[in-house]
Amino acid sequence: MKIGSPERPLRVAVVGSGPSGFYAAEALLKQKDLAVRIDMFDRLPTPYGLVRGGVAPDHQKIKSVTIVYEKVAQNPAFRFFGNVKLGRDIQVEDLTKNYDQIVYAVGNESDRHLGVPGEELAGNHSATAFVGWYNGHPDWREEKFDLAQESAAVIGIGNVAMDVTRILAEDPEELKGTDIAGYALDALRLSKVKTIWLLGRRGPAQAAYSPAEIHEIGALESADLVVDPKETVLGAESQKDYADPENKKNVDYVAEKAKAGEGSRAKKVRLRFCVSPTEVIGKDGKVVALKLERNKLILDEKGAVKAKGTGEFETIPAGLVFRSVGYRGIPIAGVPFDEKAGKIPNAEGRVQGKDAQYVVGWAKRGPSGLIGTNRADSAATVKAMLEDAAAGRFAPGEVSADDNAVPALLKERQIRFVTFSDWKALDKRELENGKAKGKIREKFTTVPEMLEAANKGPVSV
Ligand code: NAP
């Protein structure tokens, strides 16, 4: 029987239910002349990965992308198994016995470090932790941030750094109607943070933030975006980057802000360029300051602009530090992992050395790109999957075509898996709880709470 025919559909396991996983499922379900069955697994009872746990609460429009994912999930050829962790509840061997192809859509769950002294001090956090905390992610809900500090520093100037800065700088009343975790809103209402240092190691023409994101910081009612005019002057090495329209918008905007001066708002976002932290300075085990080295910009052998320390140092006060220098993957038992690159080694989405195993999203290409970037990227991996399937290139070994085999296995292991209709029940409860508080949604932030809400079955709102 041909695999992919109505008599014997192609059986695919997708591990991870963030954007890249859903776009892979979407691309597979869109194929004409292909019968497919997709089972998607997630370690959390809730789907949508970074759309739920990463996108900032004041960016609700971005979250509406879940409408597309929900449509995918409603396809009868699709099943969701939430609260099932690969390597804990189910193993790669279980998947290879039950699926013709496996797609890893596991994202990047960890983050990069700076490798400077003092990173172990209390008060030095990853942006990942802060983002997870304000978004009510179960992994981060117990994290503590000393918001009684007046000065905070955010290292890195990508869009995650913009999110962290905005959440620290904006009036919490702007967030009260969103899906921000209730405990985070309470803590932010008591925040004493007045100054946020935003630290870029290169210049304004190399900033990683998008023009829209820096504009949002500059437009805050509660804070002034303060830029030192001297740091917005471009050298000859930056002219090529400045020719890029997005970079030009970024440079021109901060130059305009620099001219505007300090402003009179109570909070200040102090955006700095060409500085690198060389030490997190502590007192009694707690962060009190950051030592920065001034950089000059040079062209490397490939013509890219790099930062080089000048040996000139300064110290800025900071009782809270957030490093926002990029996410990083973590290894999963039984899945190849490139330690240096922090991702799953692959060629065009085909996992190196593993037949019929594929990868999409940040686990495939590293932590870059917007949500939409994943659509084409996942479609490219699906193209490789379809080529392999057409050529009969599957992993050796018998695959069970019994749809009940995996749910039966999970039940035997006493794993309380969450189906998509369970999630919808949970979702409705969150929306209901939000409505009662004048919020879009009040999230459940622990796995037991989530399971309890899912167990109660459907509700009508
Ligand atoms: P990113 O865009 O790669 O930015 C990382 C920042 O960290 C860069 O400014 C980088 O500087 C800096 N950095 C790296 N290593 C450093 C070091 N050792 N010392 C000092 N600075 C260092 O990463 P991200 O902000 O985590 O975002 C990840 C992806 O998600 C991006 O594609 C982003 O656009 C996307 N995202 C989008 C949104 C949105 O659209 N609203 C929100 C969040 C995230 P260099 O440039 O010099 O390397």
| CB of residue 53 inside a 6 A radius of ligand 1 | no
CA-nearest residue, atom 14 of ligand 1: 325
Kindly give the number of the ligand 1 atom that is closest to the alpha carbon of 373: 32
pTM of this prediction?
Answer: 0.97
Ligand 1 neighbour 368 (Cβ under 6 A): yes
Q: What is the rounded distance in angstroms from the CA atom of residue 104 to the CA atom of residue 359?
A: 5
For residue 27, report the distance from its CA to the centre of ligand 1, in Å.
28
Nearest protein CA to atom 31 of ligand 1, as residue: 368
> What residue owns the CA closest to ligand 1's atom 16?
325
The residues pairing with 358 across neighbouring beta strands, listed in sequence order, are: 103, 350
- Phi/psi of residue 130, each to 5°? -65, -45
Atom of ligand 1 nearest to the CA of 369: 32
User: Which residue type occupies 329?
Assistant: G
295 CB within 6 A, ligand 1: no
Q: Is 173 exposed, middle or buried (0-12, 13-18, 19+ CB in 10 A)?
A: exposed
Span from the CA of 208 to the centroid of ligand 1 (angstroms):
6
Instruction: Please tell me the distance between residue 128's alpha carbon and the centre of ligand 1 in angstroms.
Output: 12
- Rounded Cα–Cα distance for residues 261 and 258 (Å): 6
Quick check: CB of 114 below 6 Å from ligand 1?
A: yes
Distance between Cα 200 and ligand 1 center (Å) = 10
Instruction: Compute the Cα dihedral for 180, 186, 189, 191 and give only its sign.
Output: negative
Fill in the amino acid letter for 440. I
Ligand 1 contacts CB of residue 369 (under 6 A): yes
C-alpha 159 to ligand 1 mean position (Å): 6
Closest listed residue to residue 448, CA positions, set 89, 138, 157: 138
User: Given ligand 1 and candidates 155, 160, 199, 213, which is best to mutate, with the most ligand atoms within 8 Å of its CB?
Assistant: 160
Residue minimizing CA distance to atom 26 of ligand 1: 326
Q: In this structure, which residue's CA is closest to atom 40 in ligand 1?
A: 370
Using alpha carbons, select from 84, 13, 3, 11 the residue that is nearest to residue 360: 13
Distance 370 CA to ligand 1 centre (A): 11
Q: Does residue 212 have its Cβ closer than 6 Å to ligand 1?
A: no
How would you write the pLDDT of the chain (461 residues) with one tens digit per residue?
Answer: 899 999 999 999 999 999 999 999 999 999 999 999 999 999 999 999 999 999 999 999 999 999 999 999 999 999 999 999 999 999 999 999 999 999 999 999 899 999 999 999 999 999 999 999 999 999 999 999 999 999 999 999 999 999 999 999 999 999 999 999 999 999 999 999 999 999 999 999 999 999 999 999 999 999 999 999 999 999 999 999 999 999 999 999 999 999 999 999 999 999 999 999 999 999 999 999 999 999 999 999 999 999 999 999 999 999 999 999 999 999 999 999 999 999 999 999 999 999 999 999 999 999 999 999 999 999 999 999 999 999 999 999 999 999 999 999 999 999 999 999 999 999 999 999 999 999 999 999 999 999 999 987 655 43
Contacts of 157 (CB under 8 A, 6+ apart): 198, 199, 200, 207, 208, 209, 271
Q: Is 62 exposed, middle or buried (0-12, 13-18, 19+ CB in 10 A)?
A: middle
Spatial CB neighbours of 244, under 8 Å, sequence gap ≥ 6? none
State the pLDDT at residue 326. 94
Chain-centroid distance, C-alpha 432: 26
